Amino acid sequence: MANITQQFPTANGVSPEERGTSTQPFVIAQAPATGPQLIPWSKYIPFAKGAEVLVQGKIRLLVEIPFSGSGTIHELTDGEFDFSVIIPVDLKAVLPAFLASLVDPKGDVSVSAKITYVGEGSSNRAAFSITGVGRREKSVHIQSKPDERILTPPGGLTIPTGFPSPFPKDVEIREVHMVPVKDSLEIKVTMASPVPDFTINVSKKS
């Protein structure tokens, strides 16, 4: 860190020593520290690399659809969060008969994502894939607060549902709020209309 110093000059041929003025330099300004200060992912994600987790929640698409699946934390460093989730789906078990006849009896929804955090703001990147959709990349705005980390994909993130009409063909995620709660994680997802917001609960498998 560089210091900017100043000394008293000689006045009218009289030296500082003769005037009794100290010649010791003093600091009048300091150069700022360089480099961004990263807030590590571990502040918001209470799991270690390699942890197996339980993922639970429910989303409303015409009707309320509960889901429960499992996930793995593949990487967790200051700048990288890499995970995958598999959710078995049996819509015929939760839908009314007139809707159940329109969908496949069973199937799995798989999601994998790697989020690279380089600092606060919009310079961060996310690479992800969802069942039936190839790997995609998108910029992500990240805002870190003392009790939550907020991820906002500029312009929203559109995800196909894979469901036939009258279900929506796709849904749009506006924001993701990651809130640590003791030894678990709440992921509060803000959706675009007409799909209501919902919460995903993530806990370590026992």
CATH number of domain containing 70: 2.40.128.20
Structure tokens belonging to residue 28:
């009048």
- As for how many domains the chain has, the answer is 2
16 neighbors 8 (Cβ within 8 angstroms): yes
User: Which pLDDT band holds residue 65 (cuts at 50, 70, 90)?
Assistant: confident
Whether residues 65 and 160 fall in one domain: yes
Q: Are residues 130 and 157 in the same domain?
A: yes
Let me know whether 96 and 20 are in one domain: no
pLDDT for residue 159: 86
pLDDT in the model for residue 5: 45
Based on the fold, state whether residues 10 and 67 are members of the same structural domain: no
Q: Tell me the residue ranges of DSSP E strands in the chain.
A: 3-6, 26-30, 52-61, 63-76, 80-89, 107-116, 121-130, 133-145, 148-152, 157-160, 170-181, 184-191, 198-204
Q: Is 95 in the same domain as 170?
A: yes
Return the pLDDT at 32: 46
The answer to whether 120 and 143 are in contact (CB under 8 A) is yes
**75 and 111 share a domain?**
yes
**Alpha-carbon gap, residue 173 to 166, rounded angstroms:** 20
Q: Are 24 and 66 within one domain?
A: no
Residues 72 and 28 occupy one common structural domain: no
**Residue 85 reports pLDDT greater than 70:** yes
Instruction: Tell whether 124 and 85 lie within a shared domain.
Output: yes
Compute the distance between CA of residue 11 and CA of residue 20 in angstroms, rounded to an integer.
12
Selection from 110, 137, 111, 112 nearest residue 126 by Cα? 137
142-198: pLDDT as tens digits: 999 999 999 999 999 988 877 777 778 889 999 999 999 989 999 999 999 989 999
Are 51 and 135 within one domain? yes
| Co-location of 21 and 68 in the same domain | no
Query: 30 and 45: one domain?
Result: no
Task: Tell me which residue range forms the domain holding 8.
Answer: 1-34
Reported as a single tens digit per residue, the pLDDT across 91-133 is 777 777 767 676 666 678 899 999 999 999 999 999 999 876 7
